[in-house]
């Protein structure tokens, strides 16, 4: 049987066969793509309004090889970015950073910048909700880490402590974010259990 778009329907599989196959539908997707898709699902369902913040860039040089194809040759960041995402959920301002690592044993703190930590602290002082989402891509696991836990780890490393967050800390102090079909990184389910 063919669908209206011309593609053939996959061969029939019994429920038993389907249940034995692992779910890898998000393999190859980046964390950012998964979060963007999740945010679209939340918006469509009327659950939350959360978007990726655009990075302010100053374009300096553009080449026009053809009238219809401009190519940016030189550009600079206008200012340091804060965090990746912000919006509103259940009347609460939500602001978070999303990072991905291939490392299996730890997340390097060099992936976070001091101005981002300061921004998160300012948001928390205004009763906003801040957190970080970290994906260990090699392990296929995505974790929620509340900003307060991140702050204490950050402060320790500035006083000579570890320059990374061990994977075990995410397992013990973070929360594993469930993978869902429509909301691939269903962090709102974690917020419901954790905070709101």
Binding site per annotation, positions for Mg(2+): 82, 84, 97, 116
Q: Which residue(s) pair with 142 in the sheet?
A: 135
What SS3 class is residue 164? strand
Binding site listing: 82, 84, 97, 116
- Tally of CB atoms within 10 A around 59: 11
Q: What is the DSSP string of 85-111?
A: EEEEETTEEEEEEEEEE--SSEEEGGG
**Gap between the Cα atoms of 24 and 153, Å rounded:** 32
- Nearest 5°: the CA angle 178, 183, 184 is 60
- Tally of CB atoms within 10 A around 8: 8
- Give the residue carrying structure tokens 């393999």: 27
Q: H-helix or E-strand containing 167? A: helix 167-173
């Amino acid at each position: 049987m063919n669908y209206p778009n011309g593609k053939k329907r996959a061969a029939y599989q019994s429920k038993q066969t389907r249940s034995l196959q692992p779910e890898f539908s998000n393999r190859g997707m980046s964390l950012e793509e998964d979060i963007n898709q999740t945010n679209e699902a939340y918006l469509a369902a009327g659950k939350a309004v959360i978007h990726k913040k655009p990075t302010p860039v100053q374009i300096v040089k553009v080449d026009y090889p053809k009238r219809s194809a401009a190519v940016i040759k030189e550009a600079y960041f206008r200012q340091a970015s804060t965090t990746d995402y912000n919006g509103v959920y259940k009347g609460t301002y939500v602001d978070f950073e999303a990072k991905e690592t291939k490392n299996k044993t730890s997340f390097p703190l060099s992936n976070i910048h001091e101005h981002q930590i300061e921004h998160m602290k300012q948001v928390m002082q205004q009763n906003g909700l801040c957190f970080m989402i970290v994906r260990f891509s090699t392990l296929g696991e995505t974790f929620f880490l509340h900003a307060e836990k991140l702050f204490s780890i950050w402060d320790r490393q500035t006083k000579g402590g570890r320059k990374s967050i061990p994977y075990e800390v995410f397992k013990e102090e973070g929360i594993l974010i469930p993978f869902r079909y429509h909301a691939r990184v269903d962090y709102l389910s974690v917020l419901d259990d954790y905070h709101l």
